[in-house]
Structure 1
Amino acid sequence: MSPNALIPSHRKPRRSASSRALRAGVTGGFLTLAVTGATVPANAAEKPVSETQEMPTITAALATSAAKSADAAQQAAYNYERQALQDATEAKADEAAGKAKAAAEKKAKAEAEAKKAAEEARQEKEAAQARASRSETRSALSAVSDSSSSSSSHATGSAASLVSFLKSQLGKAYVLGSSGPSSYDCSGLTQAAFSQIGIDLPRVSQSQSTTGTQVGLGNLQVGDILYWGSAGSAYHVAVYVGNGNFIGAQNPSTGIVERPLSYDMPTGAVRVL
């Protein structure tokens, strides 16, 4: 036996045919893999076989992803800012519209109140004018009544005969153009009445309104001729009989009646007695 038989060998054991050796390195952004011993026969010389595979650069991909994230964040920030500006603009517009509406409503209310006040003032003015007119009319009628009462108590002679005749005609018919004795028109009645006391009057009311002396309605006496319309163009006449009343042939509906002056206030009067 050899003296070296029991000494272990220091030679490395032969690698099996299926063993592989992996070597890796990064060069210029590419990953290089070196594979050796793939399906190599046992008696063949070991010969390294290199296989190279290109892969995307990790740094560039990360940079692209980060850039996209930054763009997305910037776009989102821009969208938020634009929405905020839009919301602020709409809020200001709503506020301005609200103020404008409130101002318009306030103005309309003020105008309505002013219009109402003006209308009330106008109505009050008209009412005051109407009261003043009624007061003047009552004063005139009172003066006429007082004057007529005084003159009526002294109505004797021809005035008394005139009133007596007129009262006897009450209730007779009104007929246009008639002078009695069963019917009369307004000027026909006054002409017939004054003929009873010997006074000749013109036939028509226009001429009768200018016969004698013009007198004021506040100074009437029994027997004064009242007329409606202008002197010289009167359209109706009657005779004042005292106590604020007159007698006349009014119209076909009423015939000859006695009425107060307030029933139909005359325009003027003439005196022939």
Structure 2
Amino acid sequence: MSHTAHIPSHRKPRRSASKVVLRSGVAGGVLSTIAVAGAAGPAQAEPVTTQTIEMPTLTSGLVADFARSAEATQRVANSLDLRAQQDAAASTAAETAKKAKAEADRKAEAKKKAEAKKAEEARAKAAAAERASRTAERTTLSASSSSNSGSSTASKSSSQATGSAAAVLAFAQAQLGDAYIMGSTGPNAWDCSSLVQAAYRQIGVDLPRVSQDQSTAGTQVSLSNLQPGDILYWGGAGSAYHTAIYAGGGEFIGAQNPSSGVVKKSLDWDPPSGAVRVL
């Protein structure tokens, strides 16, 4: 055993020292260290235990980036909001324009219908006045014929026509003054063949519709041997272009043309080509 084995040491026991270092990262990778150390006794070179904590540091550049990003986000939001407002305004304007157009179209259509109705009423009044005038004229002609039976041609034709022929001529006589319109079949407008057809229908005789066929519908007779009710035609038999009804006394009744209408005229005024007898 050493002779110094039981000699107590006069050196004070060393305390353990610890150091805590906080490392804070900075721009450019430079580290700053804050050390906290505790020691006892005289300053001596002793081992140190070090613990390092790294904490991020916000630099002024990063803050500026955040600010710029926030500003850009706000601008985008403002732009989207403005666009939404513009779209809403455009939609409202389009809807308003659509309603205005529909209203304008409705008013225009109503005005058009009103004008058409007014025109139709005017035409109806004119037609009624014309019919009344023709009726009065026919009444006057009928009275005149009755009072002048000795010299009137109309009276002669009436006295000569009897039976079915008288009925045919009575119908034709009642249409005097009606208009001539190609293709019309009455009651206030006729063409030549439709008037002849309608007159014979009064006695149950169904004649063809057109002049060509009517000119061959009965027995051919001489113009010097005519009887009231015979059908007169102009042109060839089977190719006639006009027909009328012989009224007796050298006269005929027929729908002549657009300027004359239904008239009663002398055979000398427009001599026919031939005649057929149906009755």
TM-score normalised to structure 1 length: 0.50
Which protein has the larger Cα radius of gyration, Structure 1 or Structure 2?
1
Normalised TM-score (structure 2):
0.49
